[in-house]
Structure 1
Amino acid sequence: MSDELERLRRALAGDAVPEPDAAAKARALALAMENFDRSQGRAGRTRQGKDRPRRAGALNGVRGMSSLISSRFLLATTGSLAALCVALVVVLPSARDEAPGLPRPAVAPTLKTVPDAAAPEAVAPRMEAVPGKAVDRAGDAAPAPQPVPMADAAVDEAVTHAIAPPPSTEAFANAPQGRLHVTAEEPVSTFSIDVDTASYAIVRSSLEAGRLPPPDAVRIEEMINYFPYAYPAPEPGAPPFRTTVTVTPTPWNPGTRLVHIGLQGRQPEAGARPPLNLVFLIDTSGSMQHPAKLPLLKQSFGLMLGRLSPADQVAIVTYAGSAGEVLAPTPADQRQTILDALDRLDAGGSTAGEEGLRLAYRTAAGMSGAGEISRVILATDGDFNVGIADPEDLKTLIAEERDSGIYLSVLGFGRGNLDDATMQALAQNGNGQAAYIDRLGEAQKVLVDQLGGALFPIANDVKLQVEWNPATVAEYRLIGYETRALAREDFADDRVDAGEIGAGHSVTALYEITPADSPARLTDPLRYGEEAAPADRWAGELGFLKLRYKAPGETDSALIETPIPATLSEPSDDVRFAAAIAGFGQLLRGPDRLGDWGWPEAIALAEGARGVDPFGYRIEAVNLMRLAESLSRAE
């Protein structure tokens, strides 16, 4: 052994080898011995084994002292050798440059503490060495044991840099905030209704992790529509949903008005719903290893099974490097069989999303029967990296499958590499909805409490169009819905796809409008403009609301029309709370439209409009606003 060490010493001799730091070595050995004592229970006393009787007298003291001395000597010796080996690993590449007698390996050895940054999360989430906290790839803080301080600050800094998480690869689907429109120039506003809620849950996960969400992650309409509202329900024999319009002063700008449009879908009678065919399309790639991804996904689907009926069927398709059917179509009352199939799933490999989608649609087509509803539920972090990965190409694939009558819902899990843009492309083009599951409570809300709205459609291709009256409205802007804008001519074109509304769902849209005689008007009338002179018959209207929809299975749309009154109404708690959430979203995206109105006003408005809140969704939003205010001040 001494000969080997002597040869190694000679080989490493030179400027590349730093002189040993006696003080650092002493501190390291002292700390190692202290930690050894602590682990043995000797920090103040000698540990007694549970299966070993205590020995009294001098013999026990002598043997104990002898054992302690031997153990400490062995630990010191081992610690010295370990420190030498670490030093050799760190300096060996540069030392070898000075020692031509030693061969150079193809890859220089490194101190590797985590998987390579480019590799999928197949082993464990990457953790940042911050005292008292563990940080996963998304940056979300989680409790962790307090690390033992390093003996040398330089070593501590090196380890911290060695295991820092890679940059986030998250991508969000959004567009610049809706601009102000001059009514005389653009009197018509058209967009697709939707009931996605993913953005609110993403915002919540960011705030609870101690950081403000990226502005592009904030889609204000999804934040507003996250909450249930008690709008008047349709009358028996009427269309499947009812429209309610309310005009109130704008909280953040008294010179403007807030036009609140609420749609309430019909709730079918219990036991009247058709049989349901579900294909769980589950991403089992390596990026799904994190506890907030595949393990949470299994729990979430398990909750939903208890709400299905014996007439429903469930199949499971997975995709990683390739796609496969894990569970053939199985009656939903065989719950244990389905749970066992879920429990066997493991994460690993790349993400062949295209192949998985095609197999899931084929499976659903084979399950479909007359009068039944078939739906693929895709559960993923959105990280498609095999086959079609571009959102635009995925739109084409889903559009081809949409004509089969099979619906698609998308559930997002996890942060760090969440591809929200892909999820939105799939949901918006697949006659479906998108939600983000960041906790089991969110799975309860989406897949249990709102099961009917999530899985049973009552109207397809729902489009909304407002023609504003230039005699009474000078300017307007739609709050949110930037990614769902439609051309004016798309409204009457039944070939153009739009959003879906599920059983019992409510949908909300908000416009901020500037009355023609308001001092808050931002644009001057044109000298040669053609603003319409007020006609007596339309003087009491701000605009005219038109809504088109298709009944499930139909190809021709039906039309609902409602005038928007110019008179102000007393706002309900629902109207005021929706306005507060609209303000919340605008503060997160950029408060340039809100003047001096800020976090205190938004919090007070939401707190005062909580109303009936049986599940605590609204008080949670108030607390998130308070947290966002604190984080914004800390920046």
Structure 2
Amino acid sequence: MTLHPVVQPLLAGFTLTLLLAACSAPESPQAPAGNSPAETQAELAKTKSEMPSPPLAAAAAKRMMALPASAEVMAYAPQADNSLPGYRDVPREQYQALTDNPVQLVSEQPVSTFSIDVDTGSYANVRRFLNAGQLPPRDAVRLEELVNYFPYDYPSRADGRPFAVSSELMTTPWNPQTRLLRLAVAAQEQGLAALPPANLVFLVDVSGSMDRREGLPMVQATLKLLVEQLRAEDRVALVTYAGDARVVLASTPGSEKARIRTAIDQLSAGGGTAGASGIQLAYQQARQSLLKDGINRILLATDGDFNVGISDFASLKAMAERERRSGVSLTTLGFGVDNYNEQLMEQLADAGDGNYAYIDTLQEARKVLVEQLASTLSVVARDVKLQVEFNPAQVSQYRLLGYENRQLKREDFNNDQVDAGEIGAGQRVTALYEIVPAGQKGWIEPLRYQASESPASNSGELAWLRLRYKTVTGGQSQLIEQPLPAQVVVQPSADLRFAAAVAAFAQQLRGERYTQGFGADATLALARGALADDRFGLRHEFVQLVELAQSLHNPALSTQDAVQ
């Protein structure tokens, strides 16, 4: 049959298109000849696993954040180790959503009030992400916890008080038009031998979600480090929970280390997570062995994935708030990945008058429970609040860096019924403000009908600092007041420069707009110039983490897009 002249070229073109499509289409995995059905399926599965993974989902792409000075950004892509038991396809880590502190006009809001925070879990958790080749979620980065992770050589002479307070002022590294104010609180050191007897309860999550190498095995190794530090006058009980809660080891003298280690070694994971029942039983055990003038503390080791019994956040937090009145504190030690509930861990410790740490390595466990055991267990002051009143003759605008979930109302400062943070022996607390000097252009434009000149008052004072705290025995709070000098230090201390580098990095990870133009290279230069006497190598490790983050650039978004 002869085709119409018009149809012939159309058919030829259509045939050519089909041939080209067939040649360009990716080949489907083919089973080798002679394979059995089982071998064929295994080979197909192997081939599929080697094929490139699909692009990041839109939800993950939204987590991209800017770090370098160039228009490159980094992306957080949740990944899980599917070779381990308990693997979940969809990571469901939980973090408290935080909104960065706003810029304040001194003419409208001259007073800033907040509770101190000595937790360090955010830094270790961020390190875990970076070491895994991922960027952390924005809300996993709490600036104050990154800054407070490091030891600083602050003045500690306290004149009879449990801590000393000092300040330092420098030109802001990422904005020469502003100043960076550092407030430092240094608690008195206390050796382990000087600590009062301790009544401890190890509360361990042995549910199925802990059945992975980052879970129960790490918990066991961590607790055994602490066991080696126990004295004969200390006592330890071991409580576990999975589908239900039980006492594995009743309160035992610290001299019986072998017995305590054996109880820890025999733990195994499996089942649901009745976390609330475990907490209740742990408090019961702690009350039974309560030491009137000693340390009474529960150490909760878990990933926070509660799914049996009381599991909602508000109820669990309320339980910890009620139980702290018994004189027993609650420290939370976070473990695990994928299903980690960081919000619960941090807030439970806060409500339970304790502290929060994330254990990503055995080295971190040693830092928290060996090198810093005194500060982890022993409290030197309770309900510590800071209040800063800025002098309008010196400061026109300011913003507090971090402490977003520690903000207090102005009237809360004098209200002893309002709970605040505790500070342990030897701990160092740092708070940073970025301020705009009076007369300088700031972030907020001046109002048309506002007086252009600031009232003169004590021109040599930048601000007035008030600090309230309660002694370990409770009672009425004590007040410390002192002026903060307005003099800018020409050669800032290594501690302040390093803290500024950590603060810059935290802001970059969170995608804040205030550090635009101050990228990874500038952060690295600032940190490398402030390594000082890095006894434990922590500052050098920080430099490596910034370098890791810098290597995770993704040019998909510009710096400007990432912070909108």
Q: Same fold (TM over 0.5)?
A: yes
- Aligned match for 2:511, one of 586, 590, 595: 590
Q: How do 1:297-336 and structure 2 match up within 5 A?
A: 297-336=219-258
1:493 lines up with 2:497 in the alignment:
no
Indicate the residue corresponding to 2:175 in structure 1.
253
- Asked if the contact 1:391/1:422 (under 8 Å) is kept, the reply is yes
Q: How do 1:3-18 and structure 2 match up within 5 A?
A: none
Q: How do 1:130-209 and structure 2 match up within 5 A?
A: 139=79, 165-209=88-132
- Aligned match for 2:358, one of 432, 436, 440: 436
Indicate the residue corresponding to 2:288 in structure 1.
366
- Asked if the contact 1:129/1:164 (under 8 Å) is kept, the reply is no
Matched residue SS, 1:557: strand
Matched residue SS, 1:556: strand
CA distance in 2, matches of 1:346, 1:272: 35
The letter for the 2-side match of 1:139 is: Q
Q: How far does residue 607 in structure 1 lie from its aligned partner after superposition?
A: 0.7
Percent of counterpart pairs with the same letter?
Answer: 46
Q: How far does residue 25 in structure 1 lie from its aligned partner after superposition?
A: 11
Q: How far does residue 164 in structure 1 lie from its aligned partner after superposition?
A: 9.3
- Asked if the contact 1:544/1:563 (under 8 Å) is kept, the reply is yes
Indicate the residue corresponding to 2:539 in structure 1.
618
CA distance in 1, matches of 2:374, 2:52: 43
Indicate the residue corresponding to 2:497 in structure 1.
576
The letter for the 2-side match of 1:588 is: L
- Asked if the contact 2:374/2:425 (under 8 Å) is kept, the reply is yes
Matched residue SS, 2:364: helix
Indicate the residue corresponding to 1:215 in structure 2.
138
Q: How far does residue 271 in structure 1 lie from its aligned partner after superposition?
A: 2.6
Q: How do 1:456-495 and structure 2 match up within 5 A?
A: 456-495=378-417
- Asked if the contact 1:392/1:425 (under 8 Å) is kept, the reply is no
| 1:429/1:165 CA distance change after superposition, 3 Å | closer
Q: How do 1:460-609 and structure 2 match up within 5 A?
A: 460-520=382-442, 522-525=444-447, 527-528=449-450, 533-535=455-457, 538-569=458-489, 570-609=491-530
Q: How far does residue 242 in structure 1 lie from its aligned partner after superposition?
A: 0.3
CA distance in 2, matches of 1:444, 1:419: 23
Q: How far does residue 431 in structure 1 lie from its aligned partner after superposition?
A: 0.3
CA distance in 1, matches of 2:347, 2:137: 19
Q: How far does residue 83 in structure 1 lie from its aligned partner after superposition?
A: 5.3
The letter for the 2-side match of 1:184 is: S
Q: How far does residue 82 in structure 1 lie from its aligned partner after superposition?
A: 3.5
| 1:269/1:489 CA distance change after superposition, 3 Å | same
Indicate the residue corresponding to 1:40 in structure 2.
none
Indicate the residue corresponding to 2:151 in structure 1.
228
Aligned-residue RMSD, C-alpha: 2.6
Q: How far does residue 545 in structure 1 lie from its aligned partner after superposition?
A: 0.8
| 1:255/1:359 CA distance change after superposition, 3 Å | same
Aligned residues: 503
- Asked if the contact 2:120/2:149 (under 8 Å) is kept, the reply is yes
CA distance in 1, matches of 2:549, 2:91: 21
Q: How far does residue 591 in structure 1 lie from its aligned partner after superposition?
A: 3.6
The letter for the 1-side match of 2:508 is: L
- Note the alpha carbon deviations across 1:476-534, whole angstroms, 9 max, x for none: 00000001111111111111111110001001000000011113453214514698511
- Asked if the contact 2:207/2:243 (under 8 Å) is kept, the reply is yes
Indicate the residue corresponding to 1:17 in structure 2.
none
Q: How far does residue 452 in structure 1 lie from its aligned partner after superposition?
A: 0.6
- Asked if the contact 2:192/2:374 (under 8 Å) is kept, the reply is no
Indicate the residue corresponding to 1:153 in structure 2.
none
The letter for the 2-side match of 1:28 is: P
Matched residue SS, 1:244: strand
CA distance in 2, matches of 1:143, 1:192: 42
The letter for the 2-side match of 1:80 is: S
- Aligned match for 2:264, one of 335, 342, 346: 342
Matched residue SS, 2:36: helix
Indicate the residue corresponding to 1:80 in structure 2.
36
| 1:428/1:129 CA distance change after superposition, 3 Å | farther
- Asked if the contact 1:252/1:597 (under 8 Å) is kept, the reply is yes
CA distance in 2, matches of 1:364, 1:218: 33
* Structure-2-length-normalised TM-score: 0.85
1:242 lines up with 2:164 in the alignment:
yes
- If asked which structure has higher relative contact order (CA below 8 Å, sep 6+), I would say 2
Larger Rg: 1
CA distance in 2, matches of 1:333, 1:264: 33
Note the residue ranges of structure 1 that are not aligned, 5 or more in a row.
1-22, 30-75, 91-110, 114-127, 145-162
Q: How far does residue 143 in structure 1 lie from its aligned partner after superposition?
A: 10
| 1:27/1:322 CA distance change after superposition, 3 Å | closer
- Note the alpha carbon deviations across 1:73-93, whole angstroms, 9 max, x for none: xxx6xx436458x69xx9xxx
1:286 lines up with 2:208 in the alignment:
yes
> 519-528 or 412-421, which moves further after superposition?
519-528
CA distance in 1, matches of 2:441, 2:168: 22
CA distance in 1, matches of 2:141, 2:461: 32
Q: How do 1:55-74 and structure 2 match up within 5 A?
A: none
Q: How far does residue 308 in structure 1 lie from its aligned partner after superposition?
A: 1.6
Note the residue ranges of structure 2 that are not aligned, 5 or more in a row.
1-26, 54-76, 557-564
Indicate the residue corresponding to 1:627 in structure 2.
548
Q: How far does residue 386 in structure 1 lie from its aligned partner after superposition?
A: 1.5
The letter for the 2-side match of 1:351 is: T
- Note the alpha carbon deviations across 1:420-465, whole angstroms, 9 max, x for none: 1111220111101100001101101111110011111101111111
